[in-house]
Amino acid sequence: MNLSAYWPALLGLLMGCEPLAVPQPTPLPCGLSAYARHPRHQTYLTELQQYRQQSVAPGSILLIQKPGEPRWIGAVGKANLEHQTDIQPCGQFRVGSITKMFVAVAVLKLAEQGKLRLDDRLATLLPHTAGRIPQADQITLRHLLSHTSGLTDPPNESIRYQLRIVDNAPERFSLTTDQLLDTYVYGKPLHFTPGTGWRYSNANYWLLGKLLEQQTGKPLQSVLNDWIFKPLALNDTYIEVRDDSQLVRGYADLYGDGRLFDVSHWDRADSDGEADGGIISTAADLATFAEALFGGKLLSDAWLTEMLNHTRLPSCPNGDCEYGLGVEHWKTGLGLAYGHNGGSVGIEANLLYFPHNRGVFVLYKNNGNGSDKRLMDRLMK
């Protein structure tokens, strides 16, 4: 048998392996002139450029809103490396877990309307979870909102979950929330008795998304659209699955060699449409949302206070879990800030609100490698 003839064919197959197509976005009509006239434009732009370089991100967007000066939004670098498309201040991006703030607001609005109580039990609210989630009759709505349910967190804890995205992103993309719960949550043990510990879990918000749909009889996108996006005129914000060719693409150094892979389709498969991290938005829309939420335009004072209250448990460092109901508490150099971080394989986003001066800080980059956020302390002074 002459095998030598087969190897050129195999090499041909290997070389013929086409890379995944990256759609070319259309240019955004995004005016820069207003921000270029900002009194601190050059300072902020220089800081953002340094941040992008240090965090090895193709592109980055920064929004700063402080008393005494107009809102500033800047963007440096690229949104799409394949087509060398510049990232724009008005560019839409995946916000990751910042979505949880929106979902928590919607749930708290239901509570405000008297349709839900924070002490309602999961097994009562979503009866099909009884017998599938351990102690579902002890997990409360508050536990889900504050990550004190003890539920497992497949996106961060399950290597099988993560590898499934790598192996077959379209298949993961096609899974419904029910299928996710069935595969990765139901029948899995809790990390602790509900209410006795704090452990971040995206599964809490998968369930809250289901709950919103069940309680309102509407899909999650309609709930968020009717209650938050439309009233606040967040015209560039949505959660439903749409064509994503216009979005800032996500990148990750998968092999630790400094080279970045375009992993946008993994991020899409992981989060698009989901209540734990599916929102697409812009820096401006996020800031508008934060202003409205913390300014009392979305929830009454009593329910906003409930949302912001610290989750306190002996098992947390110094007894403070630094989380409210869908809101992270950030102890910054400038005092306490409220907001949320959002991260995925290829992106990182941060939304913070500083109650002492009503400042808003949005920072986004399209490399999911974590970053040094001291930039915030310097710029928000």
Partner 1 sequence: MTIRHTLALAMLSAQIALAQNDPIRPPARPLTISLFSESVSLPTFKGFLRRPNLGVRIGTEFYYRNRPGSQLIQTLNVGFYHHRGLQSGLYLNTELGYRKFIGGFFAEGFVGLGALGLSQQLRRYERTETGDFRPASRWMLRAMPSVSAGVGYQFGRQTTMPVTLFTRYEAFVETPFSNRGIPVLPHSALHIGTRFPVNP
> CA-to-CA distance for 216 and 115, rounded, in angstroms?
10
If the CB atoms of residues 25 and 58 are measured against partner 1, the closer one turns out to be: 58
- Structure token pair of residue 64: 């700063």
CB 236 within 8 A of CB 282: yes
The reply to whether 186 sits near partner 1 by the rule CB under 8 A is no
Q: Is 49 exposed, middle or buried (0-12, 13-18, 19+ CB in 10 A)?
A: middle
Q: Distance between CA 297 and CA 289 in Å, rounded?
A: 9
> Binding of partner 1 at residue 14 (CB under 8 A)?
yes
Site string for partner 1, 267-306 (x = CB under 8 A): ----------------------------------------
Is residue 58 a contact point for partner 1 (CB under 8 A)?
Answer: yes
- Whole-Å CA distances, 220 to 66, 88, 241, 344: 33, 28, 11, 21
137-154 burial, b at 16+ Cβ within 10 Å, e below that, comes to ebbbbbbbbbbbbbbbbb
Which residue, 58 or 209, is less far from partner 1 as judged by CB?
A: 58
Binding flags for partner 1, 68-107, as an x/- string (CB under 8 A): ---------xx--xx-------------------------
The minimum distance between CB 252 and partner 1, in angstroms, equals 7
**Shorter beta-carbon distance to partner 1: residue 200 or 261:** 261
Distance, C-alpha 18 to centroid of its chain: 31
* Shortest Å distance, C-beta 19 to partner 1: 5
- Write out the two tokens for 213: 């749909």
Interface of this chain with partner 1, residues 312 to 341, rule: CB under 8 A: none
**Pick from 42, 163, 189, 230: which binds partner 1 (CB under 8 A)?**
163
Phi/psi for 33 (5° steps) reads -60, -40
Q: Using CB under 8 A, which of the segments 33-41, 126-134, 160-168, 212-220 binds partner 1? A: 160-168
Q: Which of residues 234-273 bind partner 1 (CB under 8 A)?
A: 251-256, 258-263, 265
The residue to which tokens 């899974």 are assigned: 175
Which of 4, 5, 20, 29 touches partner 1 (CB under 8 A)? Answer: 20
Query: Residue 217 or 258: which CB sits closer to partner 1?
Result: 258
- Identity of the residue, 33 or 84, whose beta carbon is nearer to partner 1 in the bound complex: 84
Options 43, 168, 176, 309; binder of partner 1; rule CB under 8 A: 168
Q: How many CA atoms lie within 13 A of 257 on its CB side?
A: 3
Which of 42, 117, 130, 160 touches partner 1 by CB under 8 A?
Answer: 160
213/187 Cα distance (integer angstroms): 23
CB of 13 to partner 1, least distance (A): 7
Q: Distance between CA 52 and CA 60 in Å, rounded?
A: 6
Give me 161's structure tokens.
């979950």
Q: Which is nearer to partner 1, 60 or 221 (CB)?
A: 60
91's CB contacts (< 8 A; 6+ apart) are: 28, 30, 61, 75, 79, 247, 248, 282
Q: Which residues lie near partner 1 (CB under 8 A)?
A: 1, 3, 6-7, 10-11, 13-15, 17-20, 22, 52-53, 56, 58, 77-78, 81-82, 159-160, 162-164, 166-171, 251-256, 258-263, 265, 345
